[in-house]
Amino acid sequence: MKRSIRDLVGLEGKRVLLRADFNLPMNKVGKITDTTRVVSELPTIRYLVERGAKVIICSHLGRPKGFEFRLSLWPVALILMKYFPGKVQFAHKVIGDEVAKQVESMSNGSILLLENVRFYKEETENDPEFAKHLASLADIYVNDAFGVAHRKHASTFGVARLLPNAIGFLMENEINTIEEAIKNPKKPFVAIFGGAKVQDKIKVILNIAKVADSILVGGAMAYSFLVAQGHTIGQSLINAESVSSASQILDELKTMGKRIVLPIDHIAYNLSDKKMKPFQTEVLSGDMVGADIGPKTINLFEEEIGRARQIVWNGPLGKYEDEKFKAGTFKIAKAIAKSKAYSIVGGGDSVSAVKQAKCDKLINHISTGGGASLKLMSGEDLPGIDVIQEKYI
Ligand code: ADP
Ligand code: MG
């Protein structure tokens, strides 16, 4: 078990470098569209502020190449100022004399938000000198950026090795919830997978299959499984690699004696019909492209969900971004929300779909990390967690 901020004593006056995940979604003109990630970070920040720590917050935003004005964290500083009036300052740099001076002038219980750490290429290179500069700003390092826990970057990994460290509340909650669901699942445990890339999800499907009672598969990835089983799928989205991944999974599931449930009907469109009018089909062939699960499949999945005591869901069941093909994903989101099962949803698109379907409040755990939650569910080690000290040493 990793050391948490609860285990840190004597925080008064200590400089704490908090790695947060303020990678907020933005629209085309760079306006922040959702502040959930800031709100989720408030308990950790409050805990540190209330104990008189000097809280230096570091985060990335987007994937800048050098300094990019539209990816500045300044708008996030403005959001923080609303929650901590009079306590927040912004640093236009991440390292250097200017920042060091700002840190020196911090009073106990105040906050300094550093500029976007990815403005420095040294961050993603996990540059040791850069990590040293970061470490020099603080006495203690706290990692609460679950969304990037699978990255071996200077601010998520390098710096952690140079300072006494701990995880924050958000990270602790993610680890405990996901690990518990995999180690001690409530039965029947139904896992639902969708989305586009089977290759990216082999490990997670197989690891969850070890403990799940049934695996439901929809979305584009279902077509790779259908092809692997010898069905025709028309022009639906597949590639050679995804089909071979799907057959590998099918073989292993067979050996494990696990049940996989694939779509029995689809909402499809004709490739040559530019209007893309949706229609239902049992069997896909010719120019037809499967873009959502059909009504019979929805019923079938709903029955499985109704029997479940635990559900893990990753990956939309259709092209949910398109009004015509969102019904499958939204109906399954609603069924999960309504069910009595303990539910976990992970993955960037899946979480976004659940929110759009207005089901997020009824899901037990919405993971804040896409890639990170999949890795954790796969039973893989995440560098950003691994590097943190154990609770008892
Ligand atoms: P997550 O981010 O939740 O892990 P993925 O990124 O794996 O999910 O998959 C989401 C993408 O999969 C969406 O962009 C969605 O449009 C696409 N998708 C799902 N089903 C289909 C389909 N039948 N055909 C094409 N794309 C699909
Ligand atoms: Mg995605």
For the stretch 16-25, pLDDT in tens is 999 999 999 8
Whether pLDDT at 59 is above 80: yes
Whether pLDDT at 4 is above 80: yes
The two tokens of residue 34 are: 């959702």
Name the fold adopted by 176-377. Answer: Rossmann fold (3.40.50)
Pairing mode, strands 259-261 and 279-281: unpaired
> What pLDDT, in 10s, does the model give residues 142-188?
999 999 999 999 999 999 999 999 999 999 999 999 999 999 999 99
Residue to mutate (ligand 1; options 237, 319, 323, 356; most atoms within 8 A of CB): 319
Q: How many Å apart are CA 193 and CA 301, to the nearest integer?
A: 11
Tell me if domain 5-169 and domain 176-377 are identical in fold.
yes
Residues with CB under 5 A from ligand 2 (ion): 348-349
Ligand 2 centroid from CA 353, angstroms: 11
pLDDT of the residue at 275: 63
Q: What b/e string do you get for 139-170 counting C-beta neighbours within 10 Å, with b at 16 or more?
A: bbbbbbbbbbbbbbbbbbbbbbeebebbbbbb
Residues of the chain with pLDDT > 70, as a percent, come to 99
The two tokens of residue 320 are: 């949910």
From the list 152, 164, 94, the residue with the least C-alpha distance to 125 is 152
List the catalytic residue out of 197, 203, 309, 355.
197
Domain range list for the chain:
5-169, 176-377
From the list 64, 72, 69, 68, the residue with the least C-alpha distance to 90 is 72
| Class of 5-169 in CATH | alpha beta
pLDDT of the residue at 249: 94
Q: How confident is the model at residue 5 (pLDDT cuts 50, 70, 90)?
A: very high
Peptide bond into 25 cis (omega under 30): no
Among the bound ligands, the one closest to the CA of 348: 1
Q: How many Å apart are CA 318 and CA 221, to the nearest integer?
A: 10
Q: How confident is the model at residue 83 (pLDDT cuts 50, 70, 90)?
A: very high
* 19 is annotated as an active-site residue: no
pLDDT of the residue at 16: 98
Q: How many Å apart are CA 146 and CA 154, to the nearest integer?
A: 15
φ, ψ of residue 111 to 5 degrees: the values are -125, 135
pLDDT of the residue at 240: 87
pLDDT of the residue at 276: 65
State the average pLDDT for the chain.
Answer: 94
pLDDT of the residue at 200: 86
Torsion of CA 208, 211, 216, 221, to 10 degrees: 20
Residues contacting ligand 1 via CB (< 6 Å): 194-197, 219-220, 237, 290-291, 314-316, 318-321, 347-350, 370
Question: How many CA atoms within 13 Å lie on the side-chain side of 355?
Answer: 14
Whether pLDDT at 284 is above 90: no
* 371 is annotated as an active-site residue: yes
> What pLDDT, in 10s, does the model give residues 217-259?
999 999 999 999 999 999 898 888 899 999 999 999 999 999 9
> What pLDDT, in 10s, does the model give residues 289-341?
999 999 999 999 999 999 999 999 999 999 999 999 999 999 999 999 999 99
Q: List, in order, residues 6 or more apart from 276 with CB less than 8 Å away.
A: 269, 270, 324
